Amino acid sequence: MDDDTSGTGTRPDTTDRPNKPAARHAPHRPQALARLLNHHALEDRGHDNIVRIGHADRAWSDLYHHALTMRWTTFFWSSLVLYIAINAGFALLYMAVPGQVTGTRPGAFWDFFFFSIQTLSTVGYGVMAPIGPAAHAITSCELLGGMILNAVATGLVFARFARPKARILFSDRALMRVEDGTTHLGVRIANRRLSPILSVGVEMFLARLIVQPNGRLARRFDPLPLAQSHVPVLRFAFPLLHVIDDASPLAGLTIAALRAEEAEIIITVTGTDEISGQTVFARNAYGFDRVLYNHRFVDIIDAAPDGRITVDYTRFHATEDNA
């Protein structure tokens, strides 16, 4: 890959690299591509950057998925608002049939509200109870709904806690350096759990917006083969390395050309958690503004005086000049 100057680091000199194809410089950016600034194949931390027209995301048609993927704070407050709304609705129904719930004061909303809470949760302290046919009919409906709601809420909370997460740490930046006359593109990953991840498979791709001959845009994914794409056991940190040779999709591309095509490096990781036996996934993306040149990662694994291995995660993202 041919490099030009950038503020992100020192760029390696590639003028004497043997058997290097001619550099492909940045093409003229058409108007359609110029409007797609900061467009990425993967959204950042769950914030989607795509506006979908003609494809409405209706929460009620996929309620379970939305309940699993929303933030915990949103899930908690949404559940609380729904819980209050249901009990308030039933309280108004009980108020509409006065004299049919014992232990309540006429027109006292909060008495009926807390009676609804006791009924919905099937607690029933015995102080307030239905005595009329209309109140019995309302409590029967509320008890049925309460059992269903409690079962759904329990399942959702359990599913959110039990949802498998890889807990894989990616380095803040990707690094590019020249070593023994060959350019390498490297990223570091680490397992943040005490238990290892087994049979880890890693894939790296170059994603670009390509202008087709007819002027239309197309997202293109070119595989970037890794020196080792399968890791039997991931316990600590592991470097991912792609060699930029003549067969690499990055061969001959300048940084200006990659930025003009909104290019980014996409990494996907799949493995099996040893404790739960579940398949876990992780992914990350690096724009070329997050690439450091002529740098390498600082070592984080060392041997303690007592013979044990020490892993210093405080230096996980640290880099140094590839001098």
Q: If you write DSSP's letter for every residue of 50-78 in order, what string do you get?
A: ---SS----GGGGHHHHHHHS-HHHHHHH
Burial class (CB in 10 A: 0-12, 13-18, 19+), 78: middle
pLDDT in tens, 15-62: 333 333 334 444 445 555 555 555 555 655 444 556 666 656 666 667
* Cα maximum dimension of the chain: 95
Q: Read off the pLDDT of residues 276-291 as tens digits, 9 standing for 90 and up.
A: 888 889 999 998 888 9
Tokens of 288: 């070329």
Contact 12, 177 (CB under 8 A): yes
- What's the residue count for the chain? 323
Q: What pLDDT score was predicted for residue 114? A: 93
Please give the domain boundaries of the chain with CATH numbers for all domains: 59-162 (1.10.287.70), 168-321 (2.60.40.1400)
Q: pLDDT tens-digit profile of 250-281? A: 988 888 888 888 899 999 999 998 888 888 89
Specify the 3-state DSSP secondary structure of 171.
coil
* Mean of pLDDT over the chain: 81
Alpha-helix residue ranges (DSSP H) falling in the chain: 31-34, 63-69, 72-95, 109-120, 133-162, 255-260
Interatomic CA distance for residues 310 and 237, integer angstroms: 12
pLDDT at residue 225 tops 70:
yes
Q: From CA 309, how far away is CA 306, in angstroms rounded?
A: 9
Confidence band, pLDDT 50/70/90 cuts, at residue 216: confident
- The rounded percent of the chain whose pLDDT value lies above 70 is 81
pLDDT in tens, 150-202: 898 889 888 888 777 778 999 999 998 888 888 899 999 999 888 899 999 99
- Which has the higher per-residue pLDDT, 303 or 154? 154
pLDDT at site 223: 95
Residue 49: φ, ψ to 5°: -110, 20
How much is the pLDDT for 305? Answer: 81
Share of the chain above pLDDT 90, in %: 34
The candidate with the shortest Cα–Cα distance to 212, out of 261, 162, 155, 158, is 261
Q: What is the pLDDT of residues 84-127, one digit of tens each?
A: 999 999 999 999 988 888 888 888 999 999 999 999 888 878 78
Cβ-based neighbours of 125, under 8 Å, separated by 6 or more: 118
End-to-end CA distance of the chain: 19
* pLDDT at residue 26, rounded to an integer: 44
pLDDT for residue 75 is more than 80: yes
